[in-house]
Structure 1
């Protein structure tokens, strides 16, 4: 007997429309064509801006994260939509997203600005309060940040972190980790050109 199909979410429709139905566990897409910047998204000169977001699961399915990395011209240098190997609480997923955002950077980057809509995580790190259940993750994040000569952590509202948020949600439909490096893939172009507050 055939199971009735569930209505597709916004991300499920996008996934189907753009035909990203690969069975591979890890998909790397690349292109020589740059993704052009949008007004207001460029970090200061010489700085890479990393936006991260985590999506906790409420139905025991794996949690996921989304990451975008922009260069100082505002071009998207890299992006990731990643499935995590388990189901985690919201604060844990947000901390993992930040950790993965740091690890996604090239080792020769010296100036980085990290942005997240996870207020508790960003406040704890800026105040160097790294106790509690997430202490080991936060301690690790501060250790990773110490390798950069210059770095900042900034909290921003969810609506200003939309692309990273959408990337974290998108992978929950595809269940396939995807990494983009300098690409013009339909998924990333679609997300980057959605209306976002300036």
Structure 2
């Protein structure tokens, strides 16, 4: 553990002024740069700073969310190399889909009954979604029609709508629950929005 004034970036990296500001600030910031500019390294150094100066003490963790799995693994590896495995274990790096799935798998019971999936569910294929749509509405849809029914604000879903009917067939079919990653993301967002205990656990 070291004083904030003593901390220096690892691997002999020299930070330019904007990068230093991004690492040392306690404010929310947006970093924009092109491919290969060092955004991942900047985030790894920021995590190192927070761990090594005690600004993120145990048992608190740091959560990083990426679009792609290789990016999530890359930043996780970089942080572990800089702070060691013990501190690195407190750096949780997930993709958006994986994080949303974690929320739904752990906290699905807080969802309203009509939006609650079974604990054992399958990630549905396009063909499964088409079959469920045909069963619900009596005809074979085009792909856009299925996608449109999945993209719904769960805070404002109309129980009389086709969106609601299709979600119910996906969630509470006769034998299984089928989910898409689109549905999982929307269920996770609903949980975080409506349950302060889950929100407090991750924010």
Q: What TM-score does the superposition give when structure 2 sets the normalisation length?
A: 0.23
The structure carrying a bigger helix percent of its residues is 2
Structure index of larger Rg = 2
Q: Normalised by the size of structure 1, how large is the TM-score?
A: 0.23
